[in-house]
Copies of this chain bind each other. A is one copy, B any other.
Amino acid sequence: MSKGLPKRSEDYSLWYNELVKKAGLAENSAVRGCMVIKPYGFAIWEKMQRVLDDMFKRTGHENAYFPLFVPKSLFEAEEQNAEGFAKECAVVTHYRLQTDPDNKGKLRVDPAARLEEELIVRPTSEAIIWSTYKNWIQSYRDLPLLINQWANVVRWEMRTRLFLRTAEFLWQEGHTAHATADEAVAETKQMLDVYAEFAENYIALPVIRGVKTPNERFAGALDTYCIEGLMQDGKALQAGTSHFLGQNFAKAFDVKFATKEGSLDYVWGTSWGVSTRLMGALVMAHSDDEGLVLPPKLAPIQVVIVPIYKGEEQLAQISEKVNQLKKELEAKGISVKYDNRDTERPGFKFAEWELKGVPVRIAIGGRDLENGTAEVARRDTKTKSTQQFDELTSLIPALLDEIQDNIYQKALNYREEHTTKVDTYEEFKEVLENKGGFVLAHWDGTPETEERIKEETKATIRCIALNTPEEEGVDMLTGKPSKQRVYFAKAY
């Protein structure tokens, strides 16, 4: 097959878009800014969901489902939040269509079916959920309330890109309520850790755990924690956020509880989410000019087996061995595809599975039958080796682990090579321009300086890392004192 994929070095952005489409992950739809997630892409998202959902449940959360729509009066109750999302809200104003008298066979909105109050298609669910929590929380015995929802949300973005920024996207949003600020902060950080572990152990994406500056906070939060990864073009990608909401939403929706001591107090809230954006991170962190490189733990197909045969009889001999191997690997929880299509040649199949990022490819031909061998190819390193067929069942699981580790290590090396400490603004701009990646620099802590740097360089403060050591210094732009370096980068 001809892949027709652009090279990353020539046009990273085009490479990404074409890869997402050609590998069968997603495509644009007839609705502006909304994507279709295709079966192969959705299979990866399902794996992500399953793993994350288990992690949420192990940390004591339950799933629930809240309405898609938010009445305008509820939406505007928490003013900061409302203001933050107002400019990108899809609004339902009518509830009926009627035959268009001027256009046979066509429909038009029925002007008589105007809603008394407009409904906002949720861009995030704090408003609808906190208006519900008001009825669920009376006493400290009702706390903590630990709930997650898997849902679609809509944010009317003007410039969209598959997975990274779409008008509709899929996500999970956790919404919790606590008796004390300390408990809520601990929850916020716990969920950040869950996200970081997922990113590193499953997506194989090393991430910086940090806290956002006030400028970059979630609208309505007191603190926004985040994980930030680095893509192969040197741009950062925010892969998940966890917000400490303080008592903002409790106050906006009047959610009070009777404390153990008998007084009434507002509850403390958190919210946290990751979305189908993670699919974009997965693609951009690891893939190459030949196609996807999927981390084995999230690959829908972990091993593909291609027979190379002459005639039906040889195919039957190969199939017998392969079916046995497939069964043994599946018993170990490995997903195996035996690609015995007779409509395509082996070369075409090799290219197709390479494009789709299957971690391990096994080929077996006539010579292998005689020798009791098989050819094993790794997607990540593109290396091939001849192995004893009988050893594959024990060899493959270890190989998948090795690939998972290698992909992670490669991304980590890239990030380390692309994290640069700078002390002057000249150096800062030079690194951003020519090398890219994270730039660790001192910052005076003011929104003005942050804003000016953004305007002049397009770089933003990705986060103040949680593990950064204190270090006396001065802001590279203003010369004002600073106590620690922060992570700057151009970002998705």
Contact = CB atoms under 8 A, between A and B. Distances in A.
A120 B97 contact: yes
A132 B92 contact: no
A64 B42 contact: yes
A37 interface: yes
B106 A76 contact: yes
A235 to B, nearest CB: 26
Interface in A236-285: none
A16 B107 CA distance: 38
A35 interface: yes
Work out how many copies of this chain go into the complex. 2
Contacts of A88: 95-96
Main secondary structure of the interface of A (DSSP, over half): mixed
A63 interface: yes
Interface stretch (A65-73, A171-179, A349-357, A465-473): A65-73
Interface centre among A27, A35, A42, A141 (most CB of B within 10 A): A42
Interface stretch (A79-87, A373-381, A412-420): A79-87
Contact of A65 (B30, B37, B69): B37
A170 interface: yes
A136 to B, nearest CB: 9
Interface string A10-54: 000000000000000001011100111111001101100000000
Given A30-B74, A86-B96, 20 more contacts: A27-B135, A29-B132, A30-B71, A30-B131, A31-B70, A34-B67, A34-B69, A36-B132, A39-B62, A42-B65, A45-B65, A75-B107, A86-B97, A86-B98, A87-B96, A87-B97, A88-B95, A91-B109, A92-B92, A93-B109
A10 B105 CA distance: 49
Contacts of A152: 68, 151-152
A119 interface: yes
B69 A31 contact: yes
